[in-house]
């Protein structure tokens, strides 16, 4: 069974960036096979990894829903949908990527979603790590990870507002039927020494701070040049920081 790593935190704090650098760490240290899952409907994990995504699970689901009777004769519906889903997995030499894409529209998607959940469950057994980058809210995480997460990184920028968002997310966890084995705070764009006020607020939440990722100008540069963050130098401050966090927590 694979280890599921997921991220939570308010919008724009750096979840996708950290998720990409986590994939970078896992593949560069031989902790493979890795499946990166882009579970954000406004997906961009593929972009940060420099990949051209043409097929998403959402597209496949919508196409199927348009013609649910289009299952080849004699073929089991679940097997047919799973075979379609397999087409959404983008393989690279170092890791695979699955992009969930758009969310379901109106109508009854229960059957397809059940098959999809079983499919993701069975995928989990083929990979050592699943790195799930999701959107800012937490609502979908439980649905998209079959309710189990091994490590949840609570990502915040260096602000009290960011920390308060984490407190709210933490408060939501129980109601989400999500079982989280281990969690910790990751501060992005933080200084070397965090202020006492910030540390005190974090202490009140009661979750350990696992590490601080400094402001890294190379991230903006790579974004502007549409380059994959997987190509960042080993010495880049963000890479060094994420590697350190992973070594300590994984
Ligand atoms: N440590 C850092 N140093 C400099 N820039 C950073 C850092 N971390 C993130 N950024 C930049 O901040 C922006 C937002 O980052 P990112 O997309 O990873 O956030 P997000 O939490 O995934 O956002 P969303 O909630 O919209 O999915 C990006 O332009 C990214 O390059
Ligand atoms: Mg994101």
> 7 near 133, Cβ under 8 Å?
yes
Q: How far apart are CA 155 and CA 202, in angstroms?
A: 12
The whole domain housing 160 covers 3-249
Nearest to 40, CA basis, from 105, 99, 97, 96: 99
pLDDT by position in tens, the chain (length 250)? 789 999 999 899 999 999 999 999 999 999 999 999 998 888 789 999 999 888 888 888 888 888 888 889 889 888 888 888 888 899 999 999 999 887 766 666 677 777 777 787 788 889 999 999 987 766 666 665 557 889 999 999 999 999 999 999 888 887 777 889 999 999 999 999 999 999 999 999 999 999 999 999 999 999 999 999 999 999 999 999 999 999 998 7
Q: Is 223 in the pocket of ligand 1 (CB under 6 A)?
A: yes
Ligand 1 atom with least separation from CA of 40: 27
Q: What is the pLDDT of residue 106?
A: 64
Ligand 1 center to residue 121 CA distance, Å? 29
Q: Is 59 in the pocket of ligand 1 (CB under 6 A)?
A: no
Q: Is 216 in the pocket of ligand 1 (CB under 6 A)?
A: yes
Q: Is 188 in the pocket of ligand 1 (CB under 6 A)?
A: yes
Name residues with Cβ closer than 5 Å to ligand 2, which is an ion.
15-16
Ligand 1 center to residue 49 CA distance, Å? 14
> 21 near 242, Cβ under 8 Å?
yes
Ligand 1 center to residue 18 CA distance, Å? 8
Q: Is 14 in the pocket of ligand 1 (CB under 6 A)?
A: yes
Query: Under DSSP, is residue 250 helix (H, G, I), strand (E, B) or coil?
Result: coil
Structurally, the chain folds into a number of domains equal to 1
DSSP conformation letters of 68-111: TT-SPTT--HHHHHHHHHHTTEEE-SS-EEEE--SPP-SS--HH
Ligand 2 center to residue 36 CA distance, Å? 13
Q: What is the pLDDT of residue 140?
A: 64
Give the domain CATH number at 61.
Answer: 3.40.50.300
Question: Sheet holding 3-8: strands in order across?
Answer: 89-91, 96-99, 34-39, 129-134, 3-8, 148-157, 179-188, 209-213
pTM given for the model: 0.93
Q: Is 157 in the pocket of ligand 1 (CB under 6 A)?
A: no
Q: How far apart are CA 5 and CA 153, in angstroms?
A: 8
Q: How far apart are CA 237 and CA 93, in angstroms?
A: 26
> 70 near 29, Cβ under 8 Å?
no
Ligand 1 center to residue 136 CA distance, Å? 12
> 163 near 205, Cβ under 8 Å?
yes
């Amino acid at each position: 069974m694979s280890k599921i790593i997921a991220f939570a935190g308010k919008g724009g704090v750096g979840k996708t960036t950290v998720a990409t650098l986590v994939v970078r760490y896992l593949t560069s240290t031989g902790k493979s096979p890795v499946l990166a899952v882009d579970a954000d409907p406004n997906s961009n994990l593929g972009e940060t990894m420099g990949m051209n995504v043409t097929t998403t699970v959402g597209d496949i689901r919508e196409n199927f829903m348009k013609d649910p009777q289009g299952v080849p004769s004699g073929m089991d519906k679940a097997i047919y949908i799973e075979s379609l889903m397999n087409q959404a997995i983008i393989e690279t030499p170092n890791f695979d990527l699955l992009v969930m894409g758009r969310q379901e529209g109106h109508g009854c998607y229960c059957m397809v979603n059940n098959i999809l959940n079983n499919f993701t469950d069975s995928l989990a057994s083929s990979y050592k790590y699943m790195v799930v980058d999701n959107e800012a809210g937490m609502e979908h995480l439980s649905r998209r990870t079959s309710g189990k997460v091994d490590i949840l990184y609570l990502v915040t920028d260096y602000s009290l507002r960011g920390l308060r968002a984490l407190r709210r997310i933490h408060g939501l966890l129980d109601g989400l039927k999500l079982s989280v084995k281990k969690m910790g705070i990751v501060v992005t764009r933080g200084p070397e020494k965090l202020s006492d006020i910030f540390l005190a607020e974090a202490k009140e939440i009661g979750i350990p701070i696992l590490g601080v990722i400094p402001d890294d100008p190379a991230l903006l540069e790579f974004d502007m040049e549409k380059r994959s963050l997987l190509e960042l130098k080993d010495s880049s401050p963000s890479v060094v920081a994420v590697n350190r966090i992973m070594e300590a927590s994984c």
